[in-house]
A and B are shown apart, each in its own frame.
Chain A
């Protein structure tokens, strides 16, 4: 099956700093990747759709200037949480879509902002 990796798997940072999370499709090319956020004991919420070579599409309520997404190649999308605050602490999960529509998820990145 399709393999998606994320790096780092966890990160702790100070309030006000920025954190970059990488999402890679390892054995296939993904023109579209998605970024989700999951708070403890809650469901996954779609944050944005990342399209290779074009601007990301953000869901309502998600600040595009705070959550910067770059999809520079067919195998890599990055999410940068800028000026992170404790309320940004969450589990960030990316997914990559294969032809046929299935989405395969990365292992997630647990962000803790102190």
Chain B
């Protein structure tokens, strides 16, 4: 089955700086890679996703890059703000998202004022 590794487990950055979270996956058949933000006790919120036919996707301060050959994808957050503080999960699935998601272990992002 799929295995998703996520690093780092904790990331502390100064407000206004950029944050990068990296994930690798094992199953070359995976073709859908979403990123979720989860605040304590709340549901995961989809913040951006990318499919395997695209190398990069951007939405305002958030971007995701995908390297299919190396089987890794990264989340980039620029101009970080205090409200970006949360736990971020990467995930992977096959079937264009039709399959269940395999999640990374999560990254606790802390934005220092």
Question: Interface size for chain B: under 10, 10 to 19, 20 to 34, or 35 or more residues?
Answer: 20 to 34
Among A14-22, A72-80, A82-90, A97-105, which stretch is in contact with chain B?
A97-105
| Inter-subunit contact B103/A43 (CB<8 Å) | yes
Q: Which of B49, B89, B104, B105 contacts A102 (CB 8 A)?
A: B49
A107 to B100: give the CA distance in the assembly, Å: 18
Q: Which of A46, A95, A97 contacts B102 (CB 8 A)?
A: A46
Which chain B residues lie closer than 8 Å to A97 at the CB level?
Answer: 97-98
A18 to B62: give the CA distance in the assembly, Å: 43
| Inter-subunit contact A102/B46 (CB<8 Å) | yes
| Inter-subunit contact A102/B101 (CB<8 Å) | no
A36 to B105: give the CA distance in the assembly, Å: 14
In the complex, residue of chain A having the shortest beta-carbon distance to the beta carbon of B99: A49
In the complex, residue of chain B having the shortest beta-carbon distance to the beta carbon of A106: B43
Q: Which of B1, B34, B43, B101 contacts A34 (CB 8 A)?
A: B101
Q: Which of A42, A59, A93 contacts B43 (CB 8 A)?
A: A93
Which A residues have a C-beta under 8 Å from some C-beta of B? 32, 34, 36, 42-46, 49, 59-60, 93, 95, 97, 100-108, 110
9 shortest interchain CB distances as A-B pairs:
A101-B97, A46-B100, A105-B43, A43-B103, A101-B96, A44-B103, A34-B100, A43-B105, A107-B43
